[in-house]
Chains A and B, each alone.
Chain A
Amino acid sequence: MAKTHYESVVVLTPVLSEKMLQDAVSSFEKLITENGGELIHKENWGLTKMAYPIQKKTTGFYQIFEFAAEADAQIVDKLELAYRRDEQVLRYLCIKLDKHAIKYNERRRNGEFKKAKLVDNTSAAPVAEAKLATITSEEEE
Chain B
Amino acid sequence: MAKRQKYTRVPVIRPKKYCRFKKSGIKYIDYKNPDFLMAFINEQGKLLPRRITGTSLKYQRKVAVAVKRCRHIALLPYVADQMK
Contacts and interface: CB of A to CB of B under 8 A. Distances in A.
Contact of B39 (A93, A95, A124, A134): A124
Interface of A: 9, 11, 50-52, 54, 60, 62, 64, 90-91, 93, 95, 98, 100-101, 103-104, 108, 117, 120-121, 123-124, 127-128, 130-132, 134-135
Contacts of A130: 15
Interface in B19-54: 20, 24, 27-28, 30, 32-36, 38-39, 42, 48, 52-53
Given A51-B77, A52-B78, A127-B20, A91 B72 contact: yes
Q: Is the interface of B mostly helix, strand, loop or mixed?
A: loop
Nearest to A134: B14
A90 B73 CA distance: 9
B36 A121 contact: yes
Interface of B: 14-15, 20, 24, 27-28, 30, 32-36, 38-39, 42, 48, 52-53, 69, 71-78, 80, 84
B55 to A, nearest CB: 11
Nearest to B15: A130
Contact of B74 (A50, A95, A104, A124): A50
